[in-house]
Each structure stands twice: as C-alpha cells, then as structure tokens.
Amino acid sequence: MPFAHWNADRAAAIVAAQANREGALLPVLHALDHAFGHVPDAAVPIIAQALNLSRAEVHGVISFYHDFKTTPPPPHVLKLCRAEACQARGGEAMAARTLARLADRADIAIEAVYCLGLCASGPAAMFDGRLAARLDDDRLTAIVEAAG
C-alpha cells in the first residue's frame, strides 16, 4: 500500500485530530503509521507538544511496541507466523526456506509475527495486509510473485 511522504504539517493535523481522546497516544501513533507507514523521530516533538508529554515518554512508547517503526517500510511486507501452532505444521522450515529464497529482495521486508489467529490452518502469513493460510512454498511464492 502506498504511504504518504513525511509531512510535518499533515502530521500535526493528524495528531490534533486524536489529541483530545483519553489515553490518546496509541491512537495517535496508529494514525500516523496509517498515513506514513512509519513514525519517524521528527514526529516525536509534535506528539509531545500536542499531548503535553515529554519527548522521552513518547519515544519510550514508540520503541516499546513492535508495530511502530521509525523508518519507512519497503514496498512489501511479509509477516510469517512463527508461533507454536504454525511451527507444528512445518512453519519453521518454510520460514527458513522463504528467508533464503527472498534474501536478495530488498523490496520485501520479512518479519516474524506471533500468531495471526489462524492456528487450525497453518502455516499462516500476512502479505501487504492480506491474510494467507494453509501455506506451502508454492502458494507462498505465488502470493509474493503476484505482487511483482
């Protein structure tokens, strides 16, 4: 999915739209991530100012959660489930082969995810936000290839 380029004015508007909610920081970070695909360091002072928090507090929250990245993502993101239910159906071996096969694809970030809730249909993955289950090497390759 295409994300907007970082823009401080737009970021400030996004933050302002969420700032009055109780416990606003996670909704703010999700909204920024949704717009820009990441939450860069430049966002920290904007958020801190709007929510009356210290920059350290904002940075601490961003760095705590796996979802929030501080650099823009590559065009494609493949999240492979590495949790027990998918392990039980050969998920680890499939993940190892996939990592090797796609090692030189700089356009794809391959991440581990611990459970997509598809535990009776593993191995499972999410590619560019779309779920896929009952995977094998061929199906997974087809899904990745279809995206170019």
Residues near another protein, by CB under 8 A: 22-27, 29-30, 51, 57, 60-61, 64-68, 83-89, 113-122, 124, 126, 129, 131-134
At closest approach, how far in Å is the CB of 76 from another protein?
A: 17
| DSSP per position, 65-88 | STT--SSPPPSEEEEEE-SHHHHT
Smallest distance from another protein to CB 144, Å: 15
Least distance to another protein, CB of residue 114, Å: 6
Closer residue to another protein, CB minimum distance, 9 or 21: 21
As separate numbers, helices (DSSP H) first and strands (DSSP E) second, the chain gives 7, 4
Other beta carbons less than 10 A from residue 94's beta carbon: 20
> Cβ(98)–Cβ(57) under 8 Å?
no
CB of 104 to another protein, least distance (A): 26
Q: Which is nearer to another protein, 84 or 137 (CB)?
A: 84
DSSP state of 136: -
The answer to whether 52 and 20 have CB atoms below 8 angstroms apart is no
Of 75 and 121, CB closest to another protein: 121
